[in-house]
Chain A
Amino acid sequence: MPLLKGGTIVDDPWLTVAEDDPIPEAGAVIVGLKRWRAERERLILRDGPVGVRLTADQTPGELGDDLEFLDLVALEFPAFTDGRSYSNARRLRERFGFEGEVRAVGDVLRDQYLFLMRCGFDALEVRSGETAEAWAAATRAITTPMQPAAAGAAPAISLRERRAQG
C-alpha cells in the first residue's frame, strides 16, 4: 500500500507482519501489541527497527517505557468516523514525547489529513491513486488553528499573545 510521508508518496520501507507470520531476520517490521509483548526481547535485539501497531482500543500507555525501543507506532482507524486514534496520537506526542513515526492506518478521508497532521501523525497508508498534492492542499486549508495541538502552525492564542507583547 502506498505511504504518504513527509508530504510525498513513498514506497513503504516497513513490513507489517501478521500475527502468525514469521518475522524476517532483518529490515523494518511492524507487529501487533500482543506479538510485541510475547517476543519483546527478540525484537529489541534483532537487526532492524521495530514498530508496534495499536488498535483503536489500545492506548499508548500500554507500551509505556517500551516506546524508547520503537521507531514507529501505527494507530488504526477501523472507520473514518472513529476518532479514538486522534487522542492516542496526541498522547504519544505530548505525554510520552514519542519522536518516531506515528502512522495512520485504516479508513481515513482526505478531509481528515489536517486533523491527523495536527494530532501528530506524520505518515499514513493511503489508497492507491492518492496524491501528495491532496495532502498539501488539505493540510494547508486552515492557516491558523484555533487551538494548540501536537503539531502544525502556531495557534491563534500564541499569535495574539505575541501581538499583545508587541
Chain B
Amino acid sequence: MYKYDDIDHALVRERVEQFRDQVARRLSGELTEEQFRPLRLMNGLYLQLNAYMLRVAIPYGVLSSGQMRTLAHLARAYDRGYGHFTTRQNIQYNWPKLEDVPDMLADLAAAEMHAIQTSGNCIRNVTADPFAGVADDEIEDPRIWAEIVRQWSSLHPEFSFLPRKFKIAVTGAATDRTAVRFHDIGLIMRRNWDGEVGFEVLVGGGMGRTPMIAKTIRKFLPKRDLLSYLEAILRIYNLMGRRDNKYKARIKILVHELGIDELGDLVEDEWARIKDGALLLPDAEIRRIEEQFRPPEYEDLPAEDTGVEALKFEDRDFARWVRANVAPHRRPGYAIVTLSLKPEGAPPGDVTADQMDAVAALAERFSLDELRATHEQNLVFPYVRQKDLPALWRQLQVLGLASPNVGLVGDIIACPGLDFCSLANARSIPVAERISMRFADLARQHDIGELRIKISGCINACGHHHVGHIGILGVDRKGEEYYQVTLGGAPGDDAAVGAIIGPALSSDDVVDAVETIVETYVALRREGEWFIDTYRRVGAEPFKARIYGGEVDAAA
C-alpha cells in the first residue's frame, strides 16, 4: 500500500496545526460558529444531535494493521470505545470533544491518516473497489489512480468552496463494487482497441432527493491526462453549478439542465487549454505510485485446498460462511474474505475498539498486514491463503465477525439515522436490527439468496436506499416515524433507482412488509433467479398487492 514520503507527512502535520489554530480561534470566540462551520466540515467535523462527530478518511478503503490499531486507540482514548464504518469507506466517531479533535488528528497523522475533506463542499475522500489488486476480474489496480486523485484533491485551492460536495470513485474491475454510477464522477478503467488502458469517465450520478445514474462524458481518457480532465470538469462545475438552492447544487443537476453533450463540450474546451500543462502526469510519478501497489510476494499454492474442501463438507456453518463471505482471488490458493459487520440485531458498521485491535492482529497473521473497508459497511481481508480459512473463520467467530450473510438479507446498509444524525427524520438502526432478527435463520437467508436491503433515515440517502433491491426511507409524518419502501434499485453494473411501491408504512409494519416482499419473491421465483431477477421479470404489482391488498396479478 501507499507509504507517505516526507512531503505527504509534512502536509498532514501542517494541516493538523492549521486546524488546531482554527479550533483555538473557535473556542476563544474569534470565529463564529457560522464561520467555523465550513472550516470544520472540510476537516470531517460535524455537530450532531448529541455531540461533535469526527469522520476519518480511509482513502479508497485501504488500511494497514497499524492504522487499524490507531483507529482503535482513537475510539478508546477520545470516544466511547467504538467506531462506525460508513457507506463511504470512512469511519466515524460519535462522541469526541472539540478540544480533543486536534490531538486525534495528530495521532492520525502519525499513522499516515487524516480527516481531510471527509465533509464540506469540496472533493470528498475518494473511494474505490474494496477488492482492488486482488479481484479476479480486474483490468488494472484502481488504487494507483485513487491515490493520485487523493493527492491532487487534498487542499485544492480552487475547489474547496464548490456549490456542493463532490464524490469520485474509481474501479478497475468488470464487476462494479463501488456504486461507481452513483458518484459525481465515476472512473471505470477500460482497455481501448489498441490495448491501452485508460478511463471511461462518467459524471452526474448521485442519490439524495434526486437520484440519478451517471452519464458517460468521455468514453476513453488516457491515464496521464486524468488530473487535467478532472480539473476541467471541476472548473466548469465550480463556475456553473447552481448555488441558489442546495438541493439543486450537485453536478447531477447541471448535467440534467445542460445535457451531457453541452456539458461535455464545455469540459472538452476547458481541457484542451490545460491538458498539456503542469497536470500532465510524469511517467516517473505514475511509476512511483505504481511501485507501492505492486502485488505482494505470493506463495505457490494449489488452486484448491483439500482441508478447506473437507471442512466445507463436514461443517455446514463453515460452508455457509465460505459461500457468502469468501470471494475468488486472482492468485491460485488465495481468497478474499469479507468480515461481516452485520451481526444479528446490532447496528450495521459498528466495531468496538477491542474488535478493531483483534482484527488488526488477524490481518497481520492472515492477510499480509492489510485490510479494506467497503461501502457496504464491512471489512475485507484481501490476501488470505485458502488453507488458513478454517483458522481465520474460528477466530472471527469468537469476535462476532463471522456472520455468513454478505450480500444476503442480513447484510443491511443503514445510515446512523435519528439516533445520531441531526438531518434524519427517522431512526434507521433499530429497523435494520429488527429486520436482521426477523431473518436470523441462516438457512433461510441462504435460501433467499442475494438481496440487498438499504435503509436511510432521510432523503439525503446516506444509507443508499435508492439502490437497495429493497430500499427503506425514513420519513416524518406529524412527528411519527414512517417508512417508504422502494423496490428494484441496484448499485452496480445494472444500476437502477428503486421505485416507491405505495404509501409509507409505520415502524411496526415495515418489518412485516419486508418479510411479505421476501415471501412473495420466494413464491414467484424461477430456478436460478435472485430477488432482483424475479422483480425485473414480474414487476412491482405482485408485491404491492400482497402488502396493500387487492387482487394478486402474479405472472408466475
Asked if A119 contacts B7 (CB within 8 A), the reply is no
Contacts of B154 in A (CB 8 A): 146-147
Task: Tell me the residues in window 36-50 of chain B with beta carbons closer than 8 Å to chain A beta carbons.
Answer: 38-39
Contacts of A118 in B (CB 8 A): 157
Asked if B155 contacts A142 (CB within 8 A), the reply is yes
In the complex the two chains form, what is the Cα distance from A118 to B278 in whole Å?
14
Asked if B7 contacts A144 (CB within 8 A), the reply is yes
Contacts of A109 in B (CB 8 A): 35, 39
Contact residue among B17, B18, B158, B285 (Cβ-Cβ distance under 8 Å from A149): B158
Does B274 reach chain A (CB closer than 8 Å)?
yes
Minimal beta-carbon separation of B75 from chain A (angstroms): 29
Does A141 reach chain B (CB closer than 8 Å)?
yes
Contacts of B151 in A (CB 8 A): 146-147, 156
In the complex the two chains form, what is the Cα distance from A118 to B154 in whole Å?
14
Does B22 reach chain A (CB closer than 8 Å)?
yes
Contacts of B282 in A (CB 8 A): 157, 161
Query: Contacts A142-B15, A146-B11, A160-B7 given: A83-B159 contact, CB under 8 Å?
Result: yes
Contacts of A155 in B (CB 8 A): 278
Contacts of B22 in A (CB 8 A): 111
Query: Contacts A87-B158, A146-B155 given: A160-B288 contact, CB under 8 Å?
Result: yes
The number of residues on chain B lying at the interface, defined by a beta carbon within 8 Å of a beta carbon of chain A, is 41
Contact residue among A82, A90, A158 (Cβ-Cβ distance under 8 Å from B158): A90
In the complex the two chains form, what is the Cα distance from A81 to B281 in whole Å?
30
Asked if A83 contacts B18 (CB within 8 A), the reply is no
Does B271 reach chain A (CB closer than 8 Å)?
no
Asked if A83 contacts B161 (CB within 8 A), the reply is yes
Query: Contacts A87-B158, A142-B155 given: A94-B274 contact, CB under 8 Å?
Result: yes
In the complex the two chains form, what is the Cα distance from A161 to B286 in whole Å?
11
In the complex the two chains form, what is the Cα distance from A152 to B239 in whole Å?
23
Does B92 reach chain A (CB closer than 8 Å)?
no
Does A37 reach chain B (CB closer than 8 Å)?
no
Kindly supply a per-residue 1/0 record for chain A positions 128-166, scoring 1 wherever the CB is within 8 Å of any chain B CB and 0 otherwise. Answer: 000000000000011111111100100111111100110
Asked if B160 contacts A87 (CB within 8 A), the reply is no
Minimal beta-carbon separation of A78 from chain B (angstroms): 9
| B interface, CB within 8 angstroms of A | 5, 7-8, 10-11, 14-15, 17-18, 22, 35, 38-39, 121, 151-162, 227, 235, 238-239, 243, 273-274, 277-279, 281-282, 284-285, 288
Nearest 5 A/B pairs, CB to CB: A83-B161, A148-B278, A118-B157, A115-B157, A164-B284
Q: List 15 A-B contacts (CB under 8 A).
A: A81-B38, A86-B238, A87-B158, A111-B18, A114-B157, A116-B157, A119-B157, A141-B14, A142-B14, A144-B7, A149-B158, A152-B157, A160-B7, A161-B284, A161-B285
